[in-house]
Amino acid sequence: MKKIIDCHTHLQSKKLVNEYFKHRTGYAITMKALDSLIGNGDKIYEEIGEIDNIFLCECIDAFSKTSIEDQLKNIKKNLCKYKIIGIKIYLGYQPIFADDEKLLPVYKFCEQNNLTAVFHCGVGAENLHSEKQINYSSCLPIAKIAKKFDKINFIISHFDYPNFNDCLKVITENKNVFTDISGEYENFNNIPYENLINDFVSKIKPALNKYNIKDIINKIMFGTDYFGIGSGFDAVEEYITTLNVLFSKEYEDLFLFENCLKAYPKLSNYIKIDNKI
């Protein structure tokens, strides 16, 4: 199997997993979605929970009728049985900042169970329209909790698009914060990917150029946000191309594989250095 991990997908059914791996190999991490978004609740466990090369990030609904404590209890039950390696929080989709007190039990739980906390950050999705929603999805408050919970890792999804400077500031100032480039191409109108890639590269490049490559290259991961052919989120190779345009080939193993193993310590229970499950 090629050394590659897609750190951010929404492969929430067997069908989507088969579709995704039709033309490629490697591993993928699936983000469980809120039921109010595209989620299918605990059904995801039956669907994909036992597939060897798929790992799962659970999610917390900060505004559910079920308390956060009870949601964590439910996750705990599934922790040993399934390959849960992190917990996703949907900032912006929900009106809450990453450093809200309400979320502290989630970070404590991650600390106790060696899990990574992942955030939706930035615009990056068609549903975030208002200025207010976008404010909630900022990565800046993550710096505060990353210092407080320095034993766990945090991931800023989507490079906090378009706030690349904020994202770079938080990942370079905090050893336990990582980011991915997933979700940059919400291609609902079938625009040629070449145009989308050029556009994204030209936007992010000035921010990246302010840093020494050695200070950032251990923190950036390949991710897609894949949600099926025709979903508007179906690019995969395009993200690999983007990374190859942005960074020299010598760093490929880092952004395609090794950084993800570092960002998700729990992955090493399943993927060994010799690359066997």
Number of residues binding to Zn ion, judged by CB under 5 A: 1
Q: Whole-number minimum distance, CB 10 to Zn ion, in Å?
A: 6
Q: Whole-number minimum distance, CB 183 to Zn ion, in Å?
A: 6
DSSP H helices in 193-272: 193-208, 213-216, 237-246, 252-253, 259-263
Residue pointed to by tokens 């809120």 = 34
Interatomic CA distance for residues 216 and 9, integer angstroms: 23
Q: What angle do CA 270, 241, 185 make, to 5 degrees?
A: 90
Q: Whole-number minimum distance, CB 40 to Zn ion, in Å?
A: 15
Q: Are 69 and 108 in contact (CB under 8 A)?
A: no
33 vs 256, which CB is nearer to Zn ion?
33
31 vs 254, which CB is nearer to Zn ion?
31
Binding segment (CB under 5 A) for Zn ion, from list 40-48, 52-60, 225-233, 263-271:
225-233
Interatomic CA distance for residues 55 and 32, integer angstroms: 10
- The number of residues making up the chain comes to 277
Three-class secondary structure of residue 155 per DSSP: strand
Exactly one of 75, 113, 225, 239 binds Zn ion (CB under 5 A); which one? 225
58 vs 225, which CB is nearer to Zn ion?
225
Residue least distant from Zn ion (Cβ):
225
Q: Are 44 and 77 in contact (CB under 8 A)?
A: no
Could you tell me which of 147, 155, 145 has the C-alpha nearest to residue 120?
A: 155
Binding segment (CB under 5 A) for Zn ion, from list 83-91, 145-153, 219-227, 264-272:
219-227
Q: Residue 6, interface with Zn ion (CB under 5 A)?
A: no
Q: Residue 184, interface with Zn ion (CB under 5 A)?
A: no
Q: Are 235 and 243 in contact (CB under 8 A)?
A: no
Interatomic CA distance for residues 219 and 41, integer angstroms: 30
Q: Whole-number minimum distance, CB 3 to Zn ion, in Å?
A: 23
Binding segment (CB under 5 A) for Zn ion, from list 84-92, 93-101, 106-114, 223-231:
223-231
11 vs 103, which CB is nearer to Zn ion?
11
Binding segment (CB under 5 A) for Zn ion, from list 60-68, 76-84, 94-102, 221-229:
221-229
Binding mask 132-171 for Zn ion (x = CB under 5 A): ----------------------------------------
Residue 138: its H or E element: none
Q: Residue 61, interface with Zn ion (CB under 5 A)?
A: no
DSSP code of residue 257: I
105 vs 232, which CB is nearer to Zn ion?
232
Contact residues for 243 (Cβ-Cβ < 8 A; gap 6+)? 181, 220, 222, 252, 255, 256
Residues in contact with Zn ion by the rule CB under 5 A: 225
